[in-house]
Chains A and B, each alone.
Chain A
């Protein structure tokens, strides 16, 4: 059938949302800082995925022969207080840190965005209730709230993620609400009503895709915050539990030996710094690349 062929030829070059993917990619590529951030993030993710394969030693096996040894050819980053290889623990520990960052942001998005969208789209008393609750939660310092929730839920990595996710949710609720308020007055939303779309359909097809870019940028930035939060919770013993490594719990142990074995603290500290830095400059770059006000 001729029409079928015509459609088949039309579909392959069908690009992805509005500001087509190639344009965003072009702008991102021309921003060296954002590109560097993206590469850093990708390298850390690759390391986290491949950790069990590339780690030179078992991260949890201690050895009385290598207690608190400074970096050597055998142990590039030295060993810790019970003789475990710091490099291996750093590699395997990246799994806890990165997944805490990503999973808790996913939780924050899943809680925050629906509330924000409902509040912005429907307005009225629902908006009033959701906005007041959001503001109340935002009034609590983020980390204090996460610590309180984690302590309440009990110490484990999963609970730490949930605690961080809940604490970060109001940020997304407020952002989503503001974006919906501006998008819902667009002519195309009125147009969607005029063709008989239901509210649910308008939200899913017309509102959500159009508020996605700022949410994506906020997500990248919040991943960085969440990684620090996970490190803080683990440092306090509320996150990853021994003997499994995470950067925060490594720092927690290292603080007791900060003068005798500074390498125990330096490496996880650097790792946190670099990955958070990577997410932050990637987020900044994405914000610039996705901004439609810039040259189209």
Chain B
């Protein structure tokens, strides 16, 4: 039997991820501004967000709830609520600006060139269709293959996400599977058409800890096999350390620091990043109560002038409160938006 054309495409490109320097940009987000119109008026949720996701690399988007991580993901997929307005910016997928596409053209790319895994595996599958039907549907939506061929590919995908007895599972309904298994099915669906970009929005938040590690491991392994670019959204710096190559830290709709994972953990520069890192519990030291970042994220309709973090920042001065710091390169590949950078003292 000839290998499935979809798999052949995957192996052809999987050599690019071995050398990060060669990694080609898959998705480039440039100066993206997204707002929402409500009865109380409009406000921006994303303001000038830019980043690049590269072949075979995982970019982690980190930040606390409400900072705009998910809105970024939904903007890329074109799944924003109807009252959302994209103010300006570009979302390039392989050089094509997704914001310029018609609904039909966008549908051609969703599930094919880009795919998404959601946070809640328990509710992300249609309860009335078998998982086989759902994977097959995604394949046939984008590939001119017959049902038998698509089913064969679906079984292959279930095998690749390590679901035992995939042939039997094809006929199962979602409620017959556990949360971890359903997330595997979601991953199988997302990767069935060998997308260039995989967006995973908190893919392990709803799972228990042992399953989390397995799922992250699986995403990593599959990425190594296929060379897919991954945009991983999380609030968990442990996850970042485990699977990330690059990190972008978001705060109140802006990216405040961007670096490779090693650089960020070794030499965090933005006070917010410092705060996040120091509020992780550690096994090797006894520090009593964990440090916290005082206050909470300002509401989008009520942004402070100047640096958005100034209201909570221990280092903030008048300059910070009046003028917004740009995201500037500190060293190659390490950018930070802070007037105080480079910081002279490291956080304890």
Contacts and interface: CB of A to CB of B under 8 A. Distances in A.
Determine if chain A interacts with chain B. yes
Interface of A: 1, 3-4, 6-7, 9-11, 13-15, 17-20, 186-188, 190-198, 205-206, 209-210, 212, 296
A206 B109 CA distance: 20
Contact of A296 (B151, B152, B175): B175
B132 A205 contact: no
Nearest to B153: A3
B345 interface: no
A3 B129 CA distance: 21
B141 A197 contact: yes
B127 A195 contact: no
Chain A binding surface SS class: helix
A198 B108 CA distance: 10
A206 B126 contact: yes
Given A7-B148, A194-B118, 12 more contacts: A3-B155, A6-B167, A7-B155, A18-B175, A190-B118, A194-B111, A195-B138, A196-B111, A196-B141, A197-B141, A206-B126, A209-B129
Interface size classification for chain B: 35 or more
8 A-B pairs closest in CB distance: A195-B111, A6-B167, A209-B128, A196-B110, A196-B111, A18-B127, A187-B123, A187-B124
Contacts of B129: 205, 209
Given A7-B170, A210-B128, A198 B118 contact: no
Given A10-B167, A13-B171, A18-B175, A205 B137 contact: yes
Interface string B201-240: 0000000000000000000000000000000000000000
B167 A186 contact: no
A212 B128 CA distance: 10
A10 B126 contact: no
A205 B126 contact: yes
Contact of B115 (A1, A9, A195, A209): A195
B255 interface: no
Interface string B112-124: 1001101010011
Contacts of A196: 107-112, 138, 141-142
Contacts of A212: 128
Interface of B: 1, 77, 79, 107-112, 115-116, 118, 120, 123-130, 132, 137-138, 141-142, 148, 151-152, 155, 167-168, 170-171, 173, 175, 186, 189
B171 A10 contact: yes
A194 B116 contact: yes
Nearest to B154: A7
B149 to A, nearest CB: 10
A210 B141 contact: no
B127 A188 contact: yes
Nearest to A6: B167
A18 B125 CA distance: 11
Given A3-B155, A9-B167, A11-B171, A191 B125 contact: yes
A17 B115 CA distance: 26
A194 B128 contact: no
B141 A20 contact: no
Contact of A188 (B125, B168, B175): B125
Contact of A195 (B151, B175, B189): B189
B107 A198 contact: yes
20 contacts: A3-B152, A3-B155, A6-B167, A10-B171, A11-B171, A13-B171, A18-B128, A186-B123, A191-B124, A191-B126, A192-B126, A194-B110, A195-B111, A195-B115, A195-B137, A197-B141, A205-B126, A205-B129, A209-B126, A210-B128
A194 B141 contact: no
B107 A18 contact: no
A278 B132 CA distance: 39
Contacts of A296: 175
A193 B126 contact: no
Given A6-B167, A10-B132, A205-B137, A193 B124 contact: no
A188 B123 CA distance: 6
Given A7-B167, A20-B173, A196-B107, A190 B79 contact: yes
Interface centre among A10, A11, A17, A209 (most CB of B within 10 A): A10
